[in-house]
Structure 1
Amino acid sequence: MEEAQHQTKRQKREIYRSSHKTEDGSAELPRKKFYRQRAHANPFSDHLLVYPESPASMDWSEYYPAFVQSQQASAAAPSEELSSGVTSTTNSMTKRVEVADIGCGFGGLLVALAPRMPDTLLVGMEIRTQVTQFVQDRIKALRNQNPENGEYQNIACLRANTMKFLPNFFDKSQLSKIFLCFPDPHFKARKHKARIVSTTLNSEYAYVMRPGGIVYTITDVEDLHNWMVRHFEAHPSFERLSKEEETADECVQVMQDETEEGKKVTRNNGNKYTACFRRLEDPPWP
């Protein structure tokens, strides 16, 4: 009986995803109930992930089609396909991704920042399959609802385990902003190694961030907040922003108010702990 009910729910999800469009052709925003997923995923598990060998082999064109520039490949290329003088077409990006929302959840931050940063490419990186699909469908729907003004063309979401593969996606000093919003607190001491902030991971953030770039953190768990502050302040590549600088940064307010978790904490009258850290210039080589 339970198995039959489960199959029915699964069938409903499949039917919904294949036909959630309105009669006028504009996509409807997806509904979360059709994208059921556990709240957390083990970052140490061997998930079935596709990731580039290096940033140079990462094809961003499928995620940001409005920022693709077609180029004609030379017919003098050594491949057999081109030896007869046939010209092939390759795609290159007119902009590079500059902002990463690590553990983007259901995409609230991406959607809120998109119109505020229209000339910047933002990417959400999420390890959970169904949640990633929800954000991708949400972005497609928003693009279809705003075809004339071109809004939401500058945001995208992909499935990734950033604890393992962050440098596979981004070159050194590529990013100007990294958001770590309401990450899994991993309360048990034996689980602290799975926290998204650590000495090793902070070095990876420093590698992909340009000098002057900002790492934004927010959580409703004070112990995790103290953990993140302690580890970033101990890292030689970062310094903490003052409260005045945080208050003046529009992204901090968006992070507090527009993420799904932030809204939930507000409804529950909970506390939000924020801290931002600036990427410092590397010291000169001796």
Structure 2
Amino acid sequence: MHHLNQNGSTPMLRLRHAPILAVFLGVFVAAPLRSDAQDVVIEPDVVYGHKLGLAMTCDVFTPVEHVNGAAVLFMVSGGWYSHWSPPEQTQHMFKPLTDEGFTVFAVRHGSSPKFSIAEAVADVRRSVRFIRINTEKFQVDPNRIGVFGMSAGGHLSLMLGTASDDGITDSKDPVERVSDRVNAVVAYVAPTDLRIMARDAPDRLPAYQRFPALDIDMIAAEPNSPIVHVTPDDAPTLLLAGAKDDLVPISHSRNIEAAFEEANVESKLIEFENAGHGFGGEDAENATKAMVDWFVTHLTK
């Protein structure tokens, strides 16, 4: 839930986040660039929408060989703050996915405190619609779209997995008329119930006062709490959580996993016994393998 600095660290959890970010997270260019070392074509700053006169953008990482036709969106979000970095500096984050043939989209949203969590959710919904309506351009299958993220990014991923729609049929915008549903979700250390994080929550953790995005009441928090949207048609979901997480307690993942089970949604929770809000070493490697395997299983077979 902490925002990333330009070097990929966070203000409060620099070292703890670095190993896991290194598993996932090069020089800015204005056109697609072929990286011979990584066998990836990078298309930076693709505009998927506009808001208040500004562009909303994502970076696209397309493998050169063994392309499998599936798309995976990464939610660039920490504390519901979306930070820009040159894509050449972040492409190694996605190598485990591009090596398997996935086309990866690093999606940025309007950041806190300027924009609310609800607005961030709306932004990433549009990103899915935009990619789906442009699947011919990106050479991906509209029925094989996955999403993943960490912390706030995991929350946004879960919102796409549990609370999406088939399109706004009466919209004048053709993008809005397209579905924002996804076909697989992986959520790392994700908040699943914003009501218990809201400013008027009885047992709110003091740490949440540091996050402007959580300056909401319990009523406003409910529509953007993934746990309240769980239904049998939700996307297959993998949850990755640290048992010692003192920022987003593991109960968030356990509770939504129980809800998924009750609704007969295909899901799995992997708990890392010694991890907190971020994984390192062997935990990071195992989490990455589980994430890639989940997408391979649900998007390529």
Is the shorter-chain TM-score for this pair beyond 0.5, marking a shared fold? Answer: no
TM-score, normalisation: structure 1: 0.35
Larger Rg: 1
Please report the TM-score for the alignment, with normalisation by the length of structure 2.
0.34
